[in-house]
Structure 1
């Protein structure tokens, strides 16, 4: 159940607008992503391998 997840601000979420944050919650099988301004809104879910493949693009590497 996603309500029991522990959410953390993503280290990749930063900038001039401090309220523009992405929050991450990880389980062994899924990485959950949500907008910190709309915690009850839509969420994304990624397999860990898909998330690992996305991170270099988010980091701008």
Structure 2
């Protein structure tokens, strides 16, 4: 699992170059992932969004899902 921090400019930062706030997200293996090494989904929660990626492709595409939508998905997946 990748534990590096990913830094990005906060959406609350101003437009001027000197008015930047950076925040970090840390990836962790989802508790919903399987137990085999090749079966990993990683998540990086932030205040408004949950980021989701395949651990086999950490530099590949990632989903950014609003927290409310993620909670609905997890509730649905828990029932199924």
| Larger helix share, 1 or 2 | 1
Fold shared per TM-score above 0.5: yes
TM-score under structure 1 length normalisation: 0.82
Alignment TM-score, normalising by the size of structure 2: 0.64
Kindly indicate which of the two structures has a greater share of residues assigned to strand.
2
Runs of at least 5 residues in structure 2 that lack an aligned partner in the other structure: 1-7, 9-23
Per-residue CA deviations over 1:18-48 (Å, capped at 9, x if unaligned) read: 2210000011011000000000000001110
- Structure with the larger RCO, 1 or 2 (CA within 8 Å, 6+ apart): 1
| Unaligned runs of at least 5 residues, structure 1 | none
Alignment of 1:1-61 (within 5 A): 1=8, 4-15=24-35, 17-59=36-78, 61=79
Q: Larger radius of gyration, structure 1 or 2?
A: 2
Query: Is the Cα–Cα contact under 8 Å of residues 12 and 58 in structure 1 kept in the other structure?
Result: no
Q: Give me the whole-angstrom Cα distance separating, in 1, the residues matched to 2:54 and 2:47.
A: 21
Structure 1 runs (4+) greater than 6 angstroms displaced: none
Q: How many residues align?
A: 58
